[in-house]
Structure 1
Amino acid sequence: MLLSVRVIPRSGRNKLEWDGTKIKARLTAPPVDGAANEALIALLAQQLALPKRSITIVRGATSRHKTVAIEQLTSEELKRLLQ
């Protein structure tokens, strides 16, 4: 499944916010040398109880707006886990 995520780096804490259609990821990591991307993958893996290897950034690696591919997860499971 593909997921649209807006990343806000250098936040006070790592947190996912779900508004029903989009995910906003607040990350403590700076947007330097892929640190924010790694933090995003780690946070999604933790929140969704999936291994990191099942989450990849397919679009927007250097942008705040990213498209993330998640294996082994349906949209219904995603909604349940993020609420």
Structure 2
Amino acid sequence: MKPWRAIAGGVQVALRVTPRGGRDAIDGIETLSDGRSVLKLRVRAVADGGEANRAVTELLAKSLGVPKAAVQLTSGATARLKQVAISGDPVALDQTLRALTAAHKPMRKS
């Protein structure tokens, strides 16, 4: 199950973010213990003053080839589990997300 879904004007993506993760990267898809799927991200930024959230939006924008303004945090500003809305063509965004996560084997978190 993919952690994103098409919405009007883009996609909604469920994330699990690791701040101070040593590098900025998309680490694939993870299935949480409750069965939900999330896109795993790690960022170098610390979770202080919104720095990690800014790093997350910048990483997603760069990886998906959209402007930074197209990535909006919709929930989870102070949590590891977040939701973002990404504006753009839902079909193109879906294809790009599939390509970004294809190299990573899905993980299951206990």
Same-fold call, TM > 0.5?
Answer: yes
**Distance of aligned partners of 1:81 and 1:73 in 2 relative to their CA distance in 1, 3 Å threshold:** farther
Aligned match of 1:64: 80
Point out the structure with the larger strand share: 2
Specify the structure having the higher radius of gyration (Cα): 2
Unmatched 5+ stretches in structure 1: none
TM-score w.r.t. structure 1 length?
0.89
Unmatched 5+ stretches in structure 2: 1-10, 31-36, 103-110
What displacement does 1:79 show? Answer: 1.2
When the two structures are aligned, how many residues end up with a matched partner? Answer: 83
For the residue of structure 2 that corresponds to 1:19, the secondary structure is: strand
Percent identity between the aligned chains?
35
Q: State the Cα RMSD in Å.
A: 1.6
What displacement does 1:72 show? Answer: 0.4
For the residue of structure 1 that corresponds to 2:15, the secondary structure is: strand
TM-score w.r.t. structure 2 length?
0.69
Aligned match of 2:105: none
CA distance in 1, matches of 2:23, 2:96: 25
